[in-house]
């Protein structure tokens, strides 16, 4: 074995060790985040919080590469924040995503059956990790991460529930779930319930725990909701 070959092997082993270390560190970090969430849940119980939402801890997949991200195909997923994530047309023949033309944004608690997860060429040359699904009879793709220098950053846990929110929050009254499913906000709803109903919102600066005003794009039908003591008190159309 030549000296040059030995150096190449040593370099390859060094790169493999670094990649394995990064992946292990990422997994440990994610497990720590789960531990912190569990601790907060336990603290909420010990303090006797009456809001049962504090006791809900949605499961996460912690994907760190394309192989682990395939877990997204094993069950339906539900969109956490409606009208936030843009999806695009996917062309199966050439395995490309048309990032130039947007198809739309995923709706509040929209259910997706993800067929595959791929890394494809994205704008600016950086590879995008995308989840593939059918939307209105068309092949579609939504970015869920990116690849850089052989390392993946996948944020699907922040985008999707992998359990039916109706079961996660089954303690909500039927009339609340009826409003959520009809994408309506009604007085008395908390902010999470409103988010489930009409998607992402942007709060005004200077919000407090006593009063908070949030602007919701609501898929082109903007609403402004004022919360008092955590409950929707005023709901009106607006930008």
Q: How confident is the model at residue 36 (pLDDT cuts 50, 70, 90)?
A: very low
For a pLDDT cut of 90, what percent of the chain falls above it? 72
CATH code where residue 62 lies: 2.30.30
**Domain closes at, from 163, 184, 201:** 163
Do 28 and 44 lie in a common domain? Answer: yes
pLDDT at 225: 97
DSSP letter assigned to residue 70: G
Q: Is the pLDDT of residue 239 over 80?
A: no
- Asked whether the predicted pLDDT for residue 91 surpasses 60, the reply is yes
Task: Identify whether residues 111 and 157 lie together within a single domain.
Answer: yes
Contact 139, 97 (CB under 8 A): no
pLDDT value for 238:
83
Domain boundary among 121, 148, 163: 163
Judged against a pLDDT cut of 70, whether residue 100 lies above it is answered with yes
Q: Are residues 68 and 110 in the same domain?
A: yes
- Chosen domain end from 132, 163, 194: 163
Residue 48 has pLDDT above 90, yes or no: no
Six token digits for residue 103: 């198809």
Residue 73 and residue 138 in one domain? yes
Residues 224 and 180 in one domain: yes
Question: Could you give the number of structural domains in the chain?
Answer: 3
Residue range(s) defining the domain that contains residue 100:
58-163
Tokens of 149: 């220098």
- Whether 6 has a pLDDT exceeding 60, the answer reads no
**Span 169-224, pLDDT tens digits:** 999 999 999 999 999 999 999 999 999 999 999 999 987 878 999 999 999 999 99
On whether both 64 and 118 belong to a single domain, the answer is yes
Mean pLDDT score of the chain: 86
Per-residue pLDDT tens digits for 126-168: 899 999 999 999 999 999 999 988 899 999 999 999 999 999 9
62 and 159 in a single domain? The answer is yes
Same domain, 79 and 137: yes
Other C-beta atoms within 10 Å of 71: how many? Answer: 15
Residues 68 and 157 in one domain: yes
Report d(CA 210, CA 233) in Å as an integer: 11
Question: Does 38 have pLDDT greater than 80?
Answer: no
pLDDT level of residue 7 (50, 70, 90 thresholds): low
> Residue 79's closest CA among 117, 116, 107?
107
Residues 149 and 212 in one domain: no
- pLDDT for residue 158: 97
The yes-or-no verdict on residue 16 having pLDDT over 50 is no
Q: Estimate the crossing angle of helix 191-198 against helix 174-181, to 10 degrees.
A: 30
pTM (predicted TM-score)? 0.79
Question: Which residue in the block uniquely carries the two structure tokens 């039927």?
Answer: 174
The structure tokens listed for 165 are 């929110």
């Amino acid at each position: 074995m030549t000296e040059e070959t030995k150096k190449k092997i040593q370099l390859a082993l060094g790169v493999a060790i670094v990649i394995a270390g990064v992946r292990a560190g990422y997994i440990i970090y994610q497990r720590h985040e789960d531990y912190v969430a569990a601790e907060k849940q336990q603290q909420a119980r010990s303090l006797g919080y009456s809001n049962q939402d504090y006791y809900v801890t949605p499961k996460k997949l912690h994907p760190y590469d394309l192989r682990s991200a395939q877990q997204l195909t094993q069950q339906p997923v539900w969109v956490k924040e409606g009208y936030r994530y843009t999806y695009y047309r996917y062309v199966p023949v050439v395995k490309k995503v048309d990032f130039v033309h947007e198809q739309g944004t995923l709706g509040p608690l929209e259910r997706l059956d993800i067929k595959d997860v791929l890394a494809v060429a994205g704008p600016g040359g950086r590879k995008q990790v995308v989840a593939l699904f059918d939307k209105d009879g068309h092949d579609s793709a939504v970015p869920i991460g990116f690849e850089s220098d052989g390392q993946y950053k996948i944020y699907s846990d922040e985008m999707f529930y992998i359990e039916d929110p109706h079961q996660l929050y089954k303690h909500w009254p039927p009339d609340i779930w009826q409003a959520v499913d009809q994408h309506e906000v009604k007085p008395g709803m908390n902010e999470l319930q409103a988010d489930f109903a009409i998607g992402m919102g942007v709060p005004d600066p200077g919000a407090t725990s006593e009063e908070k005003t949030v602007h919701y794009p609501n898929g082109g039908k903007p609403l402004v909701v004022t919360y008092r003591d955590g409950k929707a008190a005023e709901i009106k159309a607006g930008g």
